Amino acid sequence: MVTTTDHPQAATAALHATPLGRETAYPERYDPTLLCPVPRALARAALGWTGPLPFTGADLWTAFEVSWLNPRGKPLVAIAHLTVPAETPNLIESKSLKLYLNSFNQERLRDADELRARLRADLTEALWRGSGQTPGSVGVRLQLPTEWACEAAAGLPGLSLDRLDVECTHDHPAPQLLRADATQPPVDETLSSDLFKSNCPVTGQPDWASVQIRYSGPPIDQEGLLRYLVSFRQHQGFHEHCVERIFIDIWQRCRPVRLSVYARFTRRGGLDINPSRTSHPQPAPGAVRLARQ
């Protein structure tokens, strides 16, 4: 397990200790020890939020490259949909998850149910590792090829902020761009943008996403919100941390009564990560596949 302190140099060293960005041999046999947990506290401390976090939610992973062998050695394939509660003390570093999933490629299993059970047990253990407790488990759904025909690309619902012709002058998160007009009647709005980009904190590779913001409260200035989202363009952060930062910044600056932030990132290495954070209990958003996914 990756461990760290609040010191930024220790945090950077911890991230570079993960498999991400390093040459690694792909496993030939099932190996759950390949999973590399990263403490969520690594980035949450940098948000400057004291006390309980104002959100709940989940990270929705889609793994497109899942394969195993049946008892006779015939390969089988599936798409795995993983739901990771935001309250887990760790997240899983993405390359380690890919290596772990690939360790099933030559593994003979009784059926898809056995694969599902192993995924749930291994991921749950890694996500709660070091906490001394396991109050929840990971949701695992396997989508077999007989179901693939129903997969269709869509877009995130909401009024597109991308219609606005704005001047963008920031390429690192600029929460000062966020504002809401408390003198106006409260609104219920769903806004979206396909222009989000950040960078991997280890490799520096670009991460692309569509972002949806649902809120109730004073109307948020849409031009400022779009400029704020674009300001992540050179920011380095894991997908989960970016969404949590967006939530915290909007929550503090615009003071909505209710807020949900949902991002769907394009895949890398056969995996996409789609974090959702909300101020109020609600079901996890549907695993819609966007055109870029």
What is the pLDDT at residue 23?
65
Q: So what's the architecture of 159-278 in CATH?
A: 2-Layer Sandwich (3.30)
Domain extents in the chain? 26-147, 159-278
* Number of residues in the chain: 293
Which residues contribute to the annotated binding site?
Answer: 92-95, 239-240, 268-269
Strands 187-199 and 206-217: antiparallel
Considering the domain delimited by 26-147, tell me its CATH architecture.
Answer: 2-Layer Sandwich (3.30)
C-alpha 3: how far from chain center: 20
201, 216, 182, 245: which is closest to 46 by C-alpha? 245
Catalytic residue among 36, 200, 242, 254: 200
Locate the DSSP E strands across 130-205: 139-143, 153-154, 159-160, 187-199
3-class SS at 62? strand
pLDDT, tens digit (0-9, with 9 covering 90-100), for 238-269:
999 999 999 999 999 999 999 999 999 999 99
Q: Annotated binding site for NADPH, which residues?
A: 94-95, 268-269
pLDDT above 80 (res 6): no
Report the amino acid identity of residue 137: S
The helix-helix angle for 239-254 and 222-230 (nearest 10°) equals 150
Paired sense of beta strands 37-39 and 90-92, if any:
antiparallel
Helix ranges (H only) for 58-213 are 94-102, 112-127
Model's pTM, two decimal places? 0.89
Same fold, 26-147 and 159-278: yes
Q: Which residues are annotated as a binding site for substrate?
A: 92-94, 239-240
**8 A C-beta contact, residue 55 and residue 277:** yes
Annotated catalytic residue, options 59, 207, 249, 272: 207
pLDDT at position 289 is 86
Whether 113 is a known active-site residue: answer no
Residue bearing the bigger pLDDT, 71 or 137: 71
Whole-number Å distance between alpha carbons of 187 and 165: 23
Cα-to-chain-centroid distance, residue 85: 11
Q: Is 165 a catalytic residue?
A: no
pLDDT digits (tens, 9 = 90+) for 143-202: 999 999 887 888 899 999 999 999 999 999 999 999 999 999 999 999 999 999 999 998
**pLDDT band at 20, cuts 50/70/90?**
low
Q: Which amino acid is at 95?
A: K
